[in-house]
Amino acid sequence: MDVQTVIERLGGLATRADLVRATSRADVDRALAAGAVSRAGQGRYASPGTDDAAALAFGLNGHLSLTNAALHHGWEVKTVPQVPHVVFPRKRKLSDVARRQVVVHRADLGSDDVSGIATSRELTLQQCLRSLPDDEALAIADSALRHGEIATLRRVMASARGAGSAKVRRIGAQADARAANPFESVTRAICLQVPGLQVTPQLVLSTDHYWACPDLVDRDRRLVIECESYQWHGDRAGFLKDVRRYTLLAADRWVILRFTWDDVMMRPDWVREVIARAIGVDTRTEVRPAWPVAA
């Protein structure tokens, strides 16, 4: 897998260590020299669209918003937008050329609503939770928590008012810093659509026979869900370790489901149906639960 594909699958941002582990030092250096990735900081890299979006927003005198603002703040996302989201004042006139270059959003922002070229962290998180599809919003909320924005999320949930506020609190209540990446977050968003399923990210399972920390676990149903990325299983030692761990879990009567990035991102309905079948839920007759709303 090439470096650009790896960084896209990691949410548009990755450390050098992540990229080297998935490819090689030479591959990363070549990708950097070719412009396939760019430096976002010391030891941190971004997909080209991240920096391009900031430059474009600056040139149009707007501010990055939604997914592009999340990327600007260093949060991983489900998918890097091909056309950047940019917010402009409500009465700002835009040329047809400008409109074709960006997804236009309108809002009159105050000084507290912006941070450099992007909307502020608080406004970005609020708008993402309110406006984006559930899986994209959960991926960003999880990432924000991984990057220490616990107080920001609490303020966003407490201050949510009007249309979409219930969604903000619903997704905020499910956000979890333990999710390792957007792949896992999107998989968990699918799990939340399965009646009766309660999965926990990165839950340690330990007995005299094995130690495991699967991506998602429903302990009551003895169900393990693994988000399998090909690039992380490229060496023999890692492959052997994974096979033995799965075998020991299965011997202890755990049901193990393994899903690829392609299926989670491109066939979510199929993934949901497989999970439901594994736990004996008939999604044709059982109503999908609404996610719990935070008080």
159 and 100 in a common domain = yes
Over the stretch 204-230, which tens digit does the pLDDT of each residue have? 999 999 899 999 999 999 999 999 876
Return d(Cα 183, Cα 135) in angstroms, integer: 10
- Domain hosting 238: range is 182-278
Is residue 94 domain-resident?
yes
Is residue 294 domain-resident?
no
Over the stretch 150-167, which tens digit does the pLDDT of each residue have? 999 999 999 999 999 999
123 CB neighbour count, 10 Å cutoff: 23
**Are 4 and 37 contacting, i.e. CB atoms less than 8 angstroms apart?**
yes
81 CB neighbour count, 10 Å cutoff: 17
Return d(Cα 184, Cα 259) in angstroms, integer: 10
40 and 119 in a common domain = no
Biggest CA pair distance of the chain? 68
28 and 4 in a common domain = yes
- Token pair belonging to 30: 């070549």
| pLDDT above 90 coverage of the chain, percent | 72
**Are 205 and 211 contacting, i.e. CB atoms less than 8 angstroms apart?**
yes
59 CB neighbour count, 10 Å cutoff: 10
135 and 54 in a common domain = yes
Over the stretch 225-238, which tens digit does the pLDDT of each residue have? 999 876 555 567 77
163 and 186 in a common domain = no
Is residue 292 domain-resident?
no
Count of structural domains within the chain: 3
201 and 135 in a common domain = no
**Are 62 and 45 contacting, i.e. CB atoms less than 8 angstroms apart?**
no
- Give the strand pairing for 255-260 and 223-228: parallel
78 and 127 in a common domain = yes
Is residue 64 domain-resident?
yes
Domain end residue (candidates: 130, 155, 174): 174
**What mean pLDDT value characterizes the chain?**
90
Is residue 230 domain-resident?
yes
Return d(Cα 107, Cα 105) in angstroms, integer: 7
223 and 160 in a common domain = no
Over the stretch 101-143, which tens digit does the pLDDT of each residue have? 999 999 999 999 999 899 999 999 999 999 999 999 999 999 9
Alpha helix segments (H runs only) across 61-206: 66-72, 96-101, 121-131, 134-146, 150-159, 165-174, 182-191
231 and 169 in a common domain = no
**Are 252 and 210 contacting, i.e. CB atoms less than 8 angstroms apart?**
yes
